C-alpha cells in the first residue's frame, strides 16, 4: 500500500482532544491485548497527535513526528485502524503473527507484495484429526490482518492480510498466494519516521503479555464465580418454590389427616362399648400411629417452610457481605459518636478557658483602676505639700549657687583620686599574674578502655522535589521565548502571527514538559491578545497593516526574559542509539534499516556543497517563463539533490512568497523530474523562499 509515495491531501492537522480520546477508545476496542502503558506511550491523552490524509481515502496519525497508526478503507467495507511497524515494535502482541522462512524480509521489502504459502513455516499437527490450518493459524476470514516475522527474529517486518479464509486454505492446500502486503519496513510510511529497528525485545512487551494473561485469568475466575452464583440462585429459587408449595398444600393435608384421626377416635369408643368392627375398621385403627406421625411431620414442615419464607433469601456470600457492611456501619456510627463526644468536650473546655480568661481580665482591670486611683491621690498630696513648703522657706539663690559649685568641685577631685588608685592597683595585679607560677603535677589517670567505633548509619538520600506544574499562561510565554532563542531568527521577520504560531511557537511548546499548547486555555484566549501583551512587555513589536493580518515586525533579543538556558526548560532526550521519541524503547539498542541508510547516503552525496565552489550540475535551475499569458517561476533539478517538496514545504513556500505554489512531475530526457511552479513574477523572491526553507544559499541556484 505504501510501497509508492501516497499523494497527500493538504498538510498535517492537529487532532483535538476529543479526537484523541476517540482514537484511544478505537485502539482499545480493536486491540484488547494492548496494555495501558503501551497505549499511553503511543497515543498519550495530552500528546500532540497530528493526522495526515491521503488521496487514497487513507490517513495516518503521528505522535511527535512518528507515524503510530494508519487507516485503510477497503472497497465495500468500513474503515479499519491499523498500527504501524513503529507501534508494533513496542506492542507486537496485539496482532496474530505468521513465521516465514529466513531471507524473505529482504525480498518482500524490496520488490514482492504477495507472500506464497511455501514461504510460511508451519508445524505438524499432533494428530491427523486436527486441521493443520487451525493448528498453525487458527480460524480466520478473508481480509483479516496478520504480522510477518522471520524465523528466530522477534520483531515483525510487515503487516499483511489474508487473501482467503481458513476453509478455502484448507481445501486449496499450502500452495499459491496467501497473504498480501500492506505495510513493511523501508516503505514510504516507514521512512517518514526515524527508520530504526530495535535489536532486542523491550521489557514492556513481556509486561503487557503478563498483564493480558492475568486479565484472562481474572476473567475466567469472574466467569466461574458468575456460574456458581447462577447455580446458587437457581437452587434458591427451587427452595422458595418448594416452600411455597408446602405452605399452600398444608391446610388440605392437615385437615385430611386430622379427620382420619377423629374417625379412629370414634371407632375406638365404639369398640370400648362392645360393638364389633369389620376388617376395614380394624385396618383404620391400625393406622393411628402412622397418621399421628404424619400430622407431626406436616406441622414441622409447615413451620420450617414458613420460617424460610419469612427469612431474607441470601446466599452465604451475600449474607457475609451484609454482615460486614452492618459491622462497618456500626463502627462508623460509634466513631462518629466518639467524635461528637470529643467535640463536645473540646467545646466545653474552650468555653471554660474563655470564661476564666474573661474573669482574669476583669480582675486585672479592677486592680489596675485601683492602683491608678491610689497613685493619682498620692500625686495630689505631694503637690499640695510642695506648694506649702515653697511658701514658708525661700533661700538666697546666689548663696545656694556658690555652695553647689563648691560641692561639685570637691566631689570631682575625690573621684579623680579614687580612679588613680584603682588604676595603680590593677597594674600591680596584672604584674603579679604575669610572674611564673609553679605548674601543678597532673594526677595519673587510668588508661581509657578501647571502644568499638560506631559505624555511621547510612543516611537516606533526600528525594528530589517535583518540579511545579506550569500554568497555561507560563507555557505560552515560555514557548514564545524558546522559539525566539531557537528558530525565530531576525532573518524571518517581519512574519505573520499565524505563521509564527504554526511553525515556531507550537513546535517549541512540544519540546517542553507539558508539550501541548492551547491558547484558549490561557487568560488571553486569542493569539492577537497574547502577542499584544508580549508587545507591552517590550519583547516584540507588532503591527496590523491589513485588517485580520497581524505581523511580528521585530524582536528584542536583549530582553531580560531571554536570559535562560534552553537545556533547563526543554525535555531531555537520550543521544545514544536508543533515541526513540516515545520513551518506551529507552535503553534498547536500535539500528537503521537498509533503505534509510541508502537514502541518507544518497542525499549526502547529492546535496550541493555548503562551502567552496558549486558546480553547474549541482545547481538548481530557476527560470522565469510566461504560461498562459501570466509570468511564472519554474524550478527544476532540485529533486536530483535529494531535496523534498512535501505538503509542509509547499505550505511554507506559499506563505513566504504570498502566492500559489504547486509541484508536478514532468518527463525528462532520461527520467521523470519534479517541477515546482511559483505563481509570481519575481524569481529572486522564489529563490529567497527556497533558501529559507531548504537552508541553501543563492550560489546554489542558476537563475535564468
pLDDT tens string 461-490: 555 555 667 788 888 888 889 888 887 877
Report the pLDDT value the prediction gives residue 396, as an integer from 0 to 100. Answer: 46
Average pLDDT over residues 603-628: 68
Report the pLDDT value the prediction gives residue 488, as an integer from 0 to 100. Answer: 81
pTM above 0.75, yes or no: no
Whether the pLDDT of residue 526 is over 80: the answer is: yes
Whether the pLDDT of residue 148 is over 80: the answer is: yes
Report the pLDDT value the prediction gives residue 83, as an integer from 0 to 100. Answer: 92
Report the pLDDT value the prediction gives residue 606, as an integer from 0 to 100. Answer: 54
Whether the pLDDT of residue 613 is over 70: the answer is: no
Q: Are 150 and 102 in contact (CB under 8 A)?
A: yes
Model confidence band, residue 10 (pLDDT cutoffs 50, 70, 90): confident
Report the pLDDT value the prediction gives residue 615, as an integer from 0 to 100. Answer: 65
Model confidence band, residue 313 (pLDDT cutoffs 50, 70, 90): low
Average pLDDT over residues 673-693: 86
Helix H or strand E encompassing 158: strand 158-162
State the Cα torsion 315-320-323-329 to the nearest 10°.
Answer: -120
Report the pLDDT value the prediction gives residue 439, as an integer from 0 to 100. Answer: 47
User: Where is pLDDT greater, at 213 or 322?
Assistant: 213
Report the pLDDT value the prediction gives residue 516, as an integer from 0 to 100. Answer: 64
Report the pLDDT value the prediction gives residue 373, as an integer from 0 to 100. Answer: 73
Q: What is the 3-state secondary structure (H, E, C) of 612-661?
A: CCCCHHHCEEEEEEEECCEEEEEEECCHHHCCCCCHHHHHHHHHHHCCCE
Report the pLDDT value the prediction gives residue 404, as an integer from 0 to 100. Answer: 42
Distance separating alpha carbons of residues 436 and 345, to the nearest angstrom: 74
Model confidence band, residue 423 (pLDDT cutoffs 50, 70, 90): very low
- Strands 630-636 and 672-678 turn out to be antiparallel
Report the pLDDT value the prediction gives residue 603, as an integer from 0 to 100. Answer: 54
Q: pLDDT tens digits for 168-191?
A: 888 888 888 888 888 888 888 888
Q: What is the 3-state secondary structure (H, E, C) of 369-393?
A: HHHHHHHHHHHHHHHHHHHHHHHHC
Q: pLDDT tens digits for 263-307?
A: 888 888 888 888 887 888 888 888 888 888 888 888 888 888 888
Q: Are 493 and 555 in contact (CB under 8 A)?
A: yes
What are the grid coordinates assigned to 584, written together? 518506551
Distance separating alpha carbons of residues 285 and 261, to the nearest angstrom: 9
Average pLDDT over residues 540-549: 85
* 212 to 32, 97, 102: CA distances (angstroms): 9, 17, 30
DSSP state of 671: S
For 644-663, give one letter per residue: b (16+ CB within 10 A) or e: ebebbbbbbbbbbbebebeb
What residue segments make up the domains of the chain, in order of their start? 13-202, 215-310, 472-568, 607-703
Model confidence band, residue 26 (pLDDT cutoffs 50, 70, 90): very high
Q: Which of 47-61, 478-492, 561-575, 620-634 has the lowest mean pLDDT?
A: 561-575
Distance separating alpha carbons of residues 199 and 213, to the nearest angstrom: 25
Distance separating alpha carbons of residues 403 and 410, to the nearest angstrom: 11
Average pLDDT over residues 670-676: 76
Q: Are 264 and 285 in contact (CB under 8 A)?
A: yes
Whether the pLDDT of residue 426 is over 50: the answer is: no
Sign of CA dihedral 98, 101, 104, 106: positive
User: Where is pLDDT greater, at 423 or 672?
Assistant: 672
Q: pLDDT tens digits for 620-661?
A: 889 888 887 788 899 988 877 777 787 778 888 888 888 888
Distance separating alpha carbons of residues 626 and 624, to the nearest angstrom: 7
Which of 683, 547, 537, 545 lies closest to 620, judged by CA? 683
Model confidence band, residue 228 (pLDDT cutoffs 50, 70, 90): confident
CATH 1.10.10 fits 472-568, yes or no: yes
Residues in the chain: 704
Taking each helix axis from N to C end, the angle separating 683-694 and 647-657, rounded to the nearest 10 degrees, works out to 140
Helix H or strand E encompassing 553: strand 549-555
Backbone torsions φ then ψ of 395, nearest 5 degrees = -70, 165
Average pLDDT over residues 156-172: 88
Which of 67, 520, 514, 491 lies closest to 501, judged by CA? 520
Report the pLDDT value the prediction gives residue 451, as an integer from 0 to 100. Answer: 46
Which of 205, 40, 21, 181 lies closest to 113, judged by CA? 181
Distance separating alpha carbons of residues 115 and 179, to the nearest angstrom: 5
Residues 6+ apart with CB under 8 A from 152: 102
CA atoms within 13 A on the CB side of 697: 8
* 443 to 440, 446, 632: CA distances (angstroms): 9, 10, 112
Report the pLDDT value the prediction gives residue 393, as an integer from 0 to 100. Answer: 45
Report the pLDDT value the prediction gives residue 656, as an integer from 0 to 100. Answer: 83
For residue 65, give the 3-state DSSP assignment.
Answer: coil
602 DSSP β-pair partners: none
Whether the pLDDT of residue 433 is over 80: the answer is: no
User: Where is pLDDT greater, at 636 or 404?
Assistant: 636
Q: Which of 43-47, 74-78, 491-495 has the lowest mean pLDDT?
A: 74-78
472-568 shares the fold of 13-202: no
Report the pLDDT value the prediction gives residue 22, as an integer from 0 to 100. Answer: 92
Q: Are 15 and 50 in contact (CB under 8 A)?
A: yes
Distance separating alpha carbons of residues 192 and 70, to the nearest angstrom: 13
Q: pLDDT tens digits for 322-338?
A: 667 777 777 777 777 77
* CATH fold of the domain at 13-202: Sulfate adenylyltransferase (3.10.400)
Whether the pLDDT of residue 153 is over 50: the answer is: yes
- Cα 437 to its chain centre, rounded Å, is 81
Distance separating alpha carbons of residues 674 and 5, to the nearest angstrom: 13
Average pLDDT over residues 196-222: 80
User: Where is pLDDT greater, at 616 or 215?
Assistant: 215
Pick the CATH number of 607-703 from 3.40.1710, 3.40.50, 3.30.780, 1.10.150: 3.30.780
Report the pLDDT value the prediction gives residue 338, as an integer from 0 to 100. Answer: 73
- Strands 66-72 and 630-636 turn out to be unpaired
**Number of other residues whose CB lies within 10 A of the CB of residue 230:** 10
Q: Are 531 and 448 in contact (CB under 8 A)?
A: no
Whether the pLDDT of residue 108 is over 80: the answer is: yes
Backbone torsions φ then ψ of 488, nearest 5 degrees = -85, 85
Report the pLDDT value the prediction gives residue 124, as an integer from 0 to 100. Answer: 84
Whether the pLDDT of residue 703 is over 70: the answer is: yes
Distance separating alpha carbons of residues 145 and 287, to the nearest angstrom: 80
631 DSSP β-pair partners: 626
CA atoms within 13 A on the CB side of 404: 6
Show the CA angle centred on residue 681, arms to residues 677 and 684, nearest 5°: 85
Burial of 51 (0-12, 13-18, 19+ CB in 10 A): middle
Percentage of residues in the chain having pLDDT higher than 90 = 5
For residue 586, give the 3-state DSSP assignment.
Answer: coil
Model confidence band, residue 70 (pLDDT cutoffs 50, 70, 90): very high
Average pLDDT over residues 553-564: 85
Average pLDDT, the chain: 77
Report the pLDDT value the prediction gives residue 407, as an integer from 0 to 100. Answer: 46
- Strands 145-150 and 97-100 turn out to be parallel
Outline where 51-125 has alpha helix (H).
85-88, 104-110
Whether the pLDDT of residue 151 is over 80: the answer is: yes
Average pLDDT over residues 669-690: 82
Distance separating alpha carbons of residues 215 and 232, to the nearest angstrom: 25
**Number of other residues whose CB lies within 10 A of the CB of residue 623:** 13
Amino acid at each position: 500500500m505504501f510501497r509508492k509515495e501516497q499523494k497527500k491531501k493538504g498538510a498535517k492537522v492537529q487532532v483535538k482532544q476529543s479526537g484523541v480520546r476517540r482514537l484511544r477508545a478505537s485502539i482499545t476496542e480493536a486491540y484488547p491485548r494492548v496494555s495501558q502503558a503501551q497505549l499511553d506511550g503511543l497515543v498519550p491523552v495530552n500528546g500532540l497527535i497530528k493526522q495526515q490524509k491521503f488521496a487514497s481515502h487513507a490517513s495516518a496519525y503521528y505522535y511527535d513526528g512518528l507515524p503510530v497508526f494508519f487507516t485503510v478503507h477497503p472497497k465495500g467495507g468500513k474503515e479499519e485502524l491499523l498500527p504501524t511497524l513503529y507501534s508494533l515494535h513496542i506492542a507486537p502482541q496485539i496482532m496474530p503473527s505468521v513465521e516465514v522462512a529466513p531471507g524473505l524480509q529482504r525480498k518482500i521489502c524490496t520488490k514482492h507484495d504477495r507472500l506464497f504459502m511455501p514461504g510460511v513455516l508451519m508445524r505438524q499437527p499432533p494428530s491427523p484429526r486436527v486441521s493443520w490450518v487451525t493448528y498453525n493459524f487458527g480460524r480466520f476470514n478473508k481480509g483479516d490482518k496478520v504480522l510477518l516475522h522471520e524465523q528466530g527474529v522477534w520483531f515483525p517486518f510487515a503487516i499483511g492480510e489474508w487473501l482467503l479464509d481458513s476453509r478455502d486454505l484448507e481445501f486449496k492446500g499450502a500452495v499459491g498466494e496467501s497473504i498480501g502486503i500492506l505495510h513493511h519496513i523501508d516503505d514510504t510510511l516507514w521512512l517518514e519516521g526515524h527508520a530504526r529497528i530495535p535489536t532486542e525485545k523491550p521489557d514492556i512487551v513481556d509486561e503487557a503479555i503478563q498483564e493480558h494473561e492475568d486479565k484472562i485469568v481474572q476473567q475466567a475466575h469472574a466467569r466461574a464465580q458468575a456460574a456458581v452464583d447462577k447455580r446458587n440462585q437457581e437452587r434458591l429459587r427451587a427452595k422458595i418454590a418448594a416452600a411455597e408449595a408446602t405452605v399452600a398444600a398444608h391446610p388440605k393435608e392437615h385437615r385430611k389427616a386430622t379427620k382420619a384421626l377423629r374417625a379412629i377416635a370414634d371407632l375406638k369408643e365404639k369398640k370400648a362399648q362392645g360393638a364389633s368392627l369389620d376388617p376395614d375398621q380394624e385396618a383404620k385403627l391400625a393406622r393411628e400411629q402412622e397418621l399421628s406421625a404424619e400430622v407431626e411431620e406436616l406441622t414441622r414442615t409447615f413451620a420450617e417452610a414458613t420460617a424460610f419464607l419469612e427469612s431474607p433469601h441470601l446466599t452465604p456470600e451475600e449474607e457475609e457481605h451484609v454482615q460486614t457492611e452492618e459491622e462497618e456501619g456500626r463502627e462508623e456510627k460509634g466513631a462518629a459518636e466518639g467524635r461528637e463526644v470529643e467535640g463536645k468536650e473540646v467545646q466545653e473546655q474552650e468555653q471554660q478557658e474563655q470564661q476564666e480568661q474573661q474573669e482574669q481580665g476583669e480582675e486585672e482591670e479592677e486592680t489596675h483602676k485601683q492602683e491608678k486611683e491610689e497613685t493619682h491621690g498620692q500625686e495630689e498630696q505631694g503637690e499640695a505639700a510642695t506648694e506649702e513648703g515653697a511658701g514658708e522657706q525661700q533661700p538666697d539663690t546666689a548663696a545656694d549657687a556658690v555652695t553647689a559649685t563648691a560641692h561639685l568641685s570637691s566631689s570631682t577631685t575625690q573621684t579623680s583620686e579614687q580612679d588613680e588608685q584603682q588604676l595603680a592597683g590593677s597594674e600591680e595585679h596584672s604584674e603579679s599574674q604575669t610572674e611564673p607560677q609553679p605548674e601543678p603535677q597532673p594526677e595519673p589517670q587510668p588508661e581509657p578502655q578501647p571502644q568499638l567505633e560506631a559505624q555511621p548509619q547510612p543516611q537516606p538520600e533526600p528525594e528530589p522535589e517535583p518540579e511545579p506544574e506550569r500554568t497555561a499562561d507560563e507555557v505560552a510565554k515560555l514557548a514564545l521565548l524558546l522559539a525566539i532563542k531557537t528558530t525565530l531568527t531576525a532573518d524571518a521577520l517581519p512574519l505573520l502571527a499565524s505563521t509564527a504560531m504554526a511553525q515556531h511557537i507550537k513546535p517549541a511548546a512540544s519540546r517542553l514538559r507539558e508539550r501541548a499548547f492551547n491558547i484558549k486555555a490561557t487568560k488571553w484566549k486569542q493569539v492577537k491578545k497574547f502577542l499584544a501583551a508580549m508587545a507591552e512587555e517590550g519583547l516584540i513589536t507588532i503591527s496590523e497593516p491589513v485588517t485580520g493580518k497581524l505581523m511580528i515586525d521585530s524582536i528584542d533579543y536583549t530582553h531580560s526574559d531571554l536570559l535562560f538556558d534552553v537545556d533547563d526548560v526543554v525535555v531531555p532526550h537520550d543521544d545514544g542509539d536508543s533515541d526513540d521519541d516515545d520513551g518506551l524503547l529507552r535503553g534498547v539498542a536500535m539500528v537503521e534499516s537498509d533503505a534509510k541508510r541508502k537514502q541518507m547516503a544518497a542525499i549526502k552525496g547529492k546535496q550541493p556543497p555548503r562551502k567552496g565552489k558549486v558546480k553547474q550540475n549541482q545547481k538548481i535551475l530557476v527560470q522565469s517563463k510566461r504560461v498562459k499569458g501570466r509570468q511564472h517561476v519554474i524550478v527544476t533539478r532540485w529533486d536530483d539533490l535529494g531535496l523534498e517538496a512535501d505538503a509542509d514545504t509547499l505550505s511554507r513556500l506559499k506563505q513566504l512568497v504570498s502566492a500559489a505554489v504547486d509541484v508536478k512531475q514532468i518527463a525528462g530526457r532520461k527520467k521523470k523530474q519534479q517541477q515546482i511552479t511559483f505563481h509570481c513574477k519575481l524569481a529572486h523572491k522564489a529563490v529567497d523562499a527556497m533558501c529559507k526553507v531548504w537552508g541553501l544559499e543563492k550560489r546554489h541556484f542558476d537563475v535564468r
